[in-house]
Amino acid sequence: MVGRGLLRELPRILGELCPAHTYAVISDSRVAELYGLRVIEEVRAAGRRAELFTFPCGEWNKTRDTWAELTDALLHAGIGRDGAVVALGGGVTGDLAGFVAATFLRGVPFVQVPTSLLAMLDAAIGGKTGVDVAAGKNLVGAFHLPRFVLTDVDTLATLPKAHIAAGMAEAIKHAVVADASYLEAILADAPLIRERDLPALERVVMRSVTIKEEVVAADPRESGRRQVLNFGHTIGHAIEARSGYSLTHGEAVAIGMVAESTLAESLGVAAPGLTAAVRAALKTFALPIAVPEELSDADLLESVQADKKVRAGKVRFALPESIGSLPQRADGAWTVEVGPEAILQALAASR
């Protein structure tokens, strides 16, 4: 469900689509203050039990430790198998609260109420949950589908503009892997989006959700087509983790898309011009497009090789052929196996 002012419908929709004895609303510290307390009050006013559970905001808190603290807190509060989790926040909250729901008492139902642009148009859709570990991002987790996803675009009014840009990195990814006309629409709406115009943002959320939903429905467990959504993420995750999470997920993915487009061109998968078009789109939102100087090629390669998309030691990349097109390869795979030299070259060329 995507719309304006939907948050006030949450208590009713929870009762209809996810009935539970108690709702454990999980939010990071910032979203808890902005929306969590209000949601708790409204759910209680509708005659249902609800408790707010919070953790400090920031990607560096998407960890097993925070998962342990949250699950202990739910147990302490007496949430039972008839409880349900409400993930209210950005992608960090969605991944973490979703993983709590997937594992708590062997799994309780949950719903996604995304409040960041990135979570609305990408992270809240598709049922991937999990935490980051020392070896890399999202390496411990579970598939756990939410009962529903309720997106109130009005909550974007308080989202810092840097996080609007971060969300646009994933929107550009959707366009590059699936729909060239979507990229044109994004570029045409860019001045409005940058100013956080809510109708323009709602259009972006709708188009991205439609693309992601279709791809995920075709391949929920990522054995094939869903891999196209990893474009920019193999190198992006390495950059994000190696930056010590000083870059946001969206920023790291932006740089990752530049490096992986470069790789696609150098391997002859893409015709020349892809990287320039990706760079130009990202620059429209002032997103970073160069691998940070302080991260060495060797360290990044090591992180790339630790990624979960590695099969039998070989790194496989989802590489577009052109804007809007990432088709299945002649061998039936959706990804291309790439050796270390080509990865190092693409990193060096993306500085």
Ligand X SMILES: NC(=O)c1ccc[n+]([C@@H]2O[C@H](COP(=O)([O-])OP(=O)(O)OC[C@H]3O[C@@H](n4cnc5c(N)ncnc54)[C@H](O)[C@@H]3O)[C@@H](O)[C@H]2O)c1
Catalytic residue IDs: 106, 128, 170, 212, 222, 226, 230, 233, 237, 249
Selected binder of ligand X within 84, 123, 205, 209 (CB under 6 A): 123
95 makes contact with ligand X (CB under 6 A)? yes
Selected binder of ligand X within 25, 28, 205, 226 (CB under 6 A): 28
Identify which of residues 61 and 262 has a Cβ nearer to ligand X in the complex. Answer: 61
d(CA 233, CA 241): 11
- Smallest gap from residue 272 Cβ to ligand X (A): 29
89 makes contact with ligand X (CB under 6 A)? yes
Alpha helix stretches (DSSP H) within 77-197: 91-103, 117-118, 161-178, 180-194
Selected binder of ligand X within 39, 66, 83, 163 (CB under 6 A): 163
- Smallest gap from residue 303 Cβ to ligand X (A): 14
59 makes contact with ligand X (CB under 6 A)? yes
Six token digits for residue 333: 């795979």
Selected binder of ligand X within 155, 227, 261, 262 (CB under 6 A): 155
Single-letter code of the amino acid located at 29: S
216 makes contact with ligand X (CB under 6 A)? no
- Smallest gap from residue 91 Cβ to ligand X (A): 2
111 makes contact with ligand X (CB under 6 A)? no
Number of other CB atoms surrounding residue 17 within 10 Å: 13
Selected binder of ligand X within 22, 54, 116, 227 (CB under 6 A): 116
- Smallest gap from residue 255 Cβ to ligand X (A): 15
Q: Coil, strand or helix: which one is 58?
A: coil
Q: What is the DSSP string of 288-339?
A: --S--TTS-HHHHHHHHHHSTTEETTEEEE---SBTTB-PPPTTS-SSEEE-
d(CA 54, CA 66): 10
In this chain, which stretch among 17-25, 42-50, 87-95, 328-336 interacts with ligand X, using CB under 6 A? 87-95
Backbone angles phi, psi at 90, to 5 degrees: -80, -165
Tell me the CA distances in angstroms from 175 to 101, 277, 325, one per residue in order. 31, 12, 9
Q: What's the full length of the chain, in residues?
A: 351
Residue 302 CB partners (closer than 8 Å, separation 6+)? none
126 makes contact with ligand X (CB under 6 A)? yes
Six token digits for residue 174: 């959707």
Selected binder of ligand X within 118, 176, 238, 343 (CB under 6 A): 118
Q: Coil, strand or helix: which one is 186?
A: helix
- Smallest gap from residue 42 Cβ to ligand X (A): 16
115 makes contact with ligand X (CB under 6 A)? yes
Contacts to ligand X from residues 225-264, by CB under 6 A = 248-250
153 makes contact with ligand X (CB under 6 A)? no
205 makes contact with ligand X (CB under 6 A)? no
